[in-house]
Amino acid sequence: MLKVAVLVSGGGTNLQAIMDAIDNKTIRNAEIAGVISNNAGAYALERARAKGIEARCVSPKQYDNRELFNKALLEETQKLNPDLIVLAGFLVAIPPAMVEAFPYRIINIHPSLIPSFCGKGFYGLKVHEAALARGVKVTGATVHFVDEGTDTGKIILQKPVMVEEGDTPEILQRRVMEQAEWIILPKAIDMIANGELKLG
């Protein structure tokens, strides 16, 4: 059974997609060991607790500097003893020490087709704003391994989503979640849990 730690900053829609996929057996042989958020007010923590999943907050505000926060984040994650760490809308740069501790065992969902609209500064609505400003006709989502860079790790899965006339960043964000993110993130976890994707 693959033990998964989910790291999330906000509402937890991708976390919900993972929990639903475990419930309906779209994800086989995996369980969520715990959820960690950098935001005490994240609705994702409520979603986890409602399912009886251990949920905790590790916020930079609790620490005097980034180094202490990074150390605490790593320690709290290690306490869950996960086989896989899933960044499901986690808006914190993963410290190099965590990448070293979990090589090829951290995956992220990014709301564009990497290498478009990714890297430093591209997160949340900003990705969709940039896609619309550029006038692309197709966007989508990417699941990738996390390395020391920002959105530079090896790509696992991608799914395209059409941009439609009259889209706002919010409308496009919702379509990308529904048509891509909530499909390929659970699929990637299932592939890893069942040996269809090699970690490394």
* Sign of the CA dihedral with 74 first, then 76, 80, and 85 last: negative
pLDDT at 3 over 90: yes
Please report, for residues 7, 43, 57, 100, 146, the alpha-carbon distance to residue 69 in angstroms, rounded to integers and kept in the order given: 14, 21, 11, 17, 19
User: What is the per-residue pLDDT across 137-146, written as a single tens digit (0 to 9) for each?
Assistant: 999 999 999 9
Query: What average pLDDT does this structure show over 55-60?
Result: 96
Given 110, 144, 175, 187, the catalytic residue: 110
pLDDT at 61 over 80: yes
Comparing CA positions, the residue from 35, 27, 20 lying closest to residue 1 is: 27
Q: Identify whether 128 is a catalytic site residue.
A: no
37, 6 contact by CB (below 8 A): no
Please report, for residues 76, 136, 137, 140, 151, the alpha-carbon distance to residue 162 in angstroms, rounded to integers and kept in the order given: 39, 9, 6, 8, 22
Q: Which H or E element spans position 20?
A: helix 13-23
Q: Would you call 41 exposed, middle or buried from its count of C-beta atoms within 10 A (0-12, 13-18, 19+)?
A: exposed
CATH 3.40.50.170 fits 2-193, yes or no: yes
Where residue 198 falls among pLDDT bands split at 50, 70, 90?
confident
Determine how β-strand 138-145 pairs with β-strand 106-110. Answer: antiparallel
Query: Across all residues in the chain, what is the average pLDDT?
Result: 96
- C-alpha triplet 110, 116, 120: angle, nearest 5°: 65
Report residue 135 CA to chain centroid gap. Answer: 26
* pTM of this structure: 0.95
